[in-house]
Structure 1
Amino acid sequence: MDIEENGDSTFPSWISFEFLTKVLSEELKKDVSVTNFEIERAVPKGENYLSILYRVMVEYKDSATRNHAEKYFIIIKTLPESELMKKILTEMDGFQKELYMYTNILPEMHRIIKSAKEKIQQISARCLPCPIENVIVLEDLKHLGFQMAMRKEGLDLEHCKLAVRNLARFHAASMALYKIDPSFADKYKEGLFKECEDEKEKKKSQKDMEDMLYNLAATVEKWEGYEKYAQKLKESTPTMFERMTEIVKPKNNYINVLNHGDCWTNNMLFYYCPKTGKVEDIRFVDFQISRYSSPALDLQYLLCNCPNDEVRFQHKDTLLEEYYFELADYCKAMHLESDLISFEQLKDEFEEKNYLD
C-alpha cells in the first residue's frame, strides 16, 4: 500500500484492503483479492469545501483464478473536515441528497434514457457499491480520459453546447422519472434558499447572506471599471434573500425538473479526442445542492458562470436553442410531448430568473 502524508494527518484508516475488497467484489460481482492500492487527494486541500475527494488506484486479482493483477480506478467522496462545513451540509441534507442521487435517481434516469434512445448518453460518473455510511464511491473519470476545462478562461461555444445538451438530458430524464415516481421530488424541494418558519433562523440566514454580499461588493468596488457592478450588488442586497427564496420555488403552472443546482465549470468534466484535441463528451459531478424547480435556474446559473465573455454576450440565444432542441428530442423519445413548453416560454422563464436585473 502506498500512502502519503497530507498536512498533519494521513488518509482515513477505513480506506483499507478490507474496504476496497468489499467495494470491488460487489461491483464486479465476483470474489476478488486486493493486492495493493495507492491513494492521493483528488483535489488540493481547501479546493472543495463541501467534501473531501480521494483518488485510489486498486490492484486486485480474481480470487478463483488468481490470474495476474488488474487495476481499478475510483474516487472516494467523504464529508468535509471543517466542522462548520459539516454543519452547513447537514442542515441542507446535502451529502444524503447526493448519495441518493448517485445510488437511486441517476441509475433510474439512465435506465429511462436507455429504454427511450438508441444511443446512450451517460450524464454523470457511475456510482459503485459502498459498505459504509456517509461515503460515496465513484468511477474515476480522469482515468477514462475526462478532465476539467480551464475555469479562469471561461468555456468556449463548443464546451457550452455540450454542457447545455447534457443539462437538457438530465432535466428531461427527471421529468420522465416524475411520471413514474413523483415522490422523489419531495427530497429535493429545499436547498440553499428555503422558507424558514422560525423567524430567528430566517433573520440569521438573511443577515449571513447580506454580510457576504456587502463584503463582495466592497471587494468588487476596488476593481477598476467594475464600480457599477458593486453599486448594483449593494442595491440588490437588502431584498436578495427574499427574492431568491421566491425565485427557487417550483411553479404550479410551469414545468419543474430536478436541477443540478451547482452547474458550473468545476462540476463538469470533458473528454477530448486524443487525435484532434476537440471536445467530444461531458459528465456532471457534485449533486449536493440539487433541487426540484424550474429548469431556468440551472440555465441561468450555467450561462452566467461558465462561458467566456464572447459566448456569454453573443451566443446566449444559440445556447438556449441547443438546450431546448435537446430537451424536446428527449421529451419526444420519452413520450412527454404534452409536458413540453414552447421555446418562447423557456426564454421568458429564463429572463424571469435573471434576478440581478
Structure 2
Amino acid sequence: MEHHQNIPEFPEWLDQNIFEEFLKLDFPNFKSINQFDIEQTCGKGENFTTLVLRVKFVVNLKDDSQVTTSYIVKLLPTTLSTRDMISSWKVFDKEKLSYSQYVPHFEQMYAKVNKKSRFGAKYYELTSPKTEEMIVLEDLGNRGFRNTNRQLGLDMDHTKTVLEKLAQLHAASAVYYELNGPYPYLYDRNLCSEEDKFQEFRETQAKSLIDALPHFGAEHLTYALKTYTSRAPDMYQAFAAKFENEFRCLNHGDFYCNNIMFQYDKNGKISETYFIDLQMSRYCSPAQDLIYFLLSSVSIDLKLSKFEYFISFYHSKLIENLKLLQYPKQLPKKRDLHVAIFNHGDWAYPVISLLLPLVLIDPNEKSNMDTLMDQDTEGDKFRNTLFGNPRIIQHYKKILPWAYNRGLFEYKNNQN
C-alpha cells in the first residue's frame, strides 16, 4: 500500500484505517486499500474557519479490479490560537447535528409528498470518535459538482436556482419546527461564543473601511458609519431578534457562493444545487440568508437592480413548498418578507464590510483568519489591500449608497 502526503498540515492521527468502514459501506466487495493520499481542497484564501482536506483512495476489490474514490474531511485549523477560538464556537457540534439529523429529515419530508429534494453531500457517521473534531462527507466533486467564479457573481439562472432550493430548505425547517418543537440552543446564534472575541477586530475593520471611503466617493457616509459601527453588535454572535408573528426557519447561516455547489448536464444546464458548510445555521427570519446571499454572491449587475425581484421570486417558492408540506400556520405574505428584510437589515453591514471584500479579492495566502484578526502591520496591510482593490471599489461605489439610502446604516436595538 502506497501513501503520499501532499499537505504540511497533515494530522498524524488521520490515517486510512478511519475510512475503511466507509469504503466497505460504499463498495460491498471491498478487499483492501491500495493507495491513500491527502490534499487540500481549497486554494489560498478560500476557507477561513476549518481545514478542509480531500482524502483519496485507490481500492482493491474482491474481483481483482480497482476503483478510485475520495472523501472530504473537515478539521479544526492547525494554528492553536485560531483553533481554540473556532472550537469555542461549537460549529462542529452544530454541523454534525444538521447533517446527521435535520437535513435527512427534511429530505424525507419531501419524499413523503413525492418530491425529490436533496440539500447536500452524504454524511458519514464515525463509529469510533476521534479525540480531534472531524466531519467526513461525500466528495461532491466525484459527481461533477463545482463552485462558480465567486468574483464574477451569480447570473440570473444560478441565482434563481439557489433561491428555489433555499426556499425548500427554509420551508421544511419551518414545518419541522411546528411538528417537532424547537431546535437546540446551538441554533440560537451563528457562533455560540461565551465571550465577544471580535470587538477589537470589528473596530479596526470599521476604521479601515471609513478611512477608505474617499476611494468610493463616499466621504459623506463617514458620520453615518462611525455612528452605526459604534453601536451595532456582532451579528454572527448575536441572538436573533424576534418580532411578533414573524415567519422563522432554520437559516444556513453562512450562505454565500463558496458554500453552494452546482452540477450541470451535458448541455451545460444546471441539474442540481447543493449546499455545504452547515456549521453556522441559526433559527430566525429567512431575511438573514437572503441578505447574506444576495449582497455577497450575485453579480453586481443584478444584486441591486433585481433585489426586490429576487425577494419576490423566493417568496413564491417558499409559499409553494410550505403548502406542499402542509405548514399549519398562516402563510407569510410577500409584504411580511419585505418588512423582515428591513427589520433584520443589520446583516447588511457585516456582509458589505467583511464578507463581500473576501469574495471579490484574488486568492491570497494572507487571506486567512489569523491575518484578519491581526491588529498590527500584517493585518493593516491586508485591510488596505482589501479596500484598495479595483473590483471592491467598483462594487462599493454602488452598494454603499444603496445600503445607506435604504436606512441599513441606522442602528435600532431589536434584541430581546
TM-score normalised by length of structure 2? 0.75
Query: Distance between the aligned counterparts of 2:52 and 2:199, measured in 1?
Result: 31
Give the aligned residue type for 1:174.
Answer: S
Q: Which residue of 2 aligns with 1:128?
A: 124
C-alpha change, 1:228 and 1:83, in structure 2 (3 Å) is: farther
Q: Which residue of 1 aligns with 2:4?
A: 3
Give 3-state SS (helix, strand or coil) of 1:13's partner. coil
Query: Distance between the aligned counterparts of 1:30 and 1:185, measured in 2?
Result: 40
Give the aligned residue type for 1:343.
Answer: K
Q: Which residue of 2 aligns with 1:248?
A: 240
Give 3-state SS (helix, strand or coil) of 2:263's partner. strand
C-alpha change, 1:101 and 1:230, in structure 2 (3 Å) is: farther
Query: Distance between the aligned counterparts of 1:165 and 1:72, measured in 2?
Result: 31
1:202-226 Cα deviation digits (max 9, x unpaired): 6x654442233223333x3352434
Q: Which residue of 2 aligns with 1:179?
A: 178
C-alpha change, 1:83 and 1:242, in structure 2 (3 Å) is: closer
1:274-295 Cα deviation digits (max 9, x unpaired): 32x3334211111121111111
For residues 242-321 of structure 1, the aligned pairs below 5 Å read 248-275=240-267, 277-321=268-312
Query: Distance between the aligned counterparts of 1:322 and 1:224, measured in 2?
Result: 31
Query: Distance between the aligned counterparts of 2:18 and 2:48, measured in 1?
Result: 25
Query: Distance between the aligned counterparts of 2:274 and 2:182, measured in 1?
Result: 26
C-alpha change, 1:33 and 1:250, in structure 2 (3 Å) is: farther
Give 3-state SS (helix, strand or coil) of 1:50's partner. coil
For residues 78-89 of structure 1, the aligned pairs below 5 Å read 78-89=75-86
Shift of 1:328: 1.1
For residues 7-156 of structure 1, the aligned pairs below 5 Å read 9=8, 11-26=10-25, 32-44=31-43, 46-62=45-61, 65-116=62-113, 118-130=114-126, 131-133=128-130, 134-156=133-155
Shift of 1:331: 0.9
Question: Greater CA deviation, 9-18 or 240-249?
Answer: 240-249
Give the aligned residue type for 1:238.
Answer: S
Calculate percent identity across the aligned residue pairs. 26
Structure 2 unaligned blocks of 5 or more: 347-407, 410-416
CA RMSD for the aligned pairs?
2.6
Query: Distance between the aligned counterparts of 1:272 and 1:254, measured in 2?
Result: 36
Give 3-state SS (helix, strand or coil) of 1:255's partner. coil
2:72 and 2:137 in contact (8 A); partners too: yes
C-alpha change, 1:344 and 1:190, in structure 2 (3 Å) is: same
Query: Distance between the aligned counterparts of 1:288 and 1:172, measured in 2?
Result: 19
2:175 and 2:328 in contact (8 A); partners too: no
Shift of 1:110: 1.2
Give 3-state SS (helix, strand or coil) of 2:215's partner. coil
TM-score normalised by length of structure 1? 0.86
C-alpha change, 1:193 and 1:250, in structure 2 (3 Å) is: farther
Query: Distance between the aligned counterparts of 1:181 and 1:237, measured in 2?
Result: 38
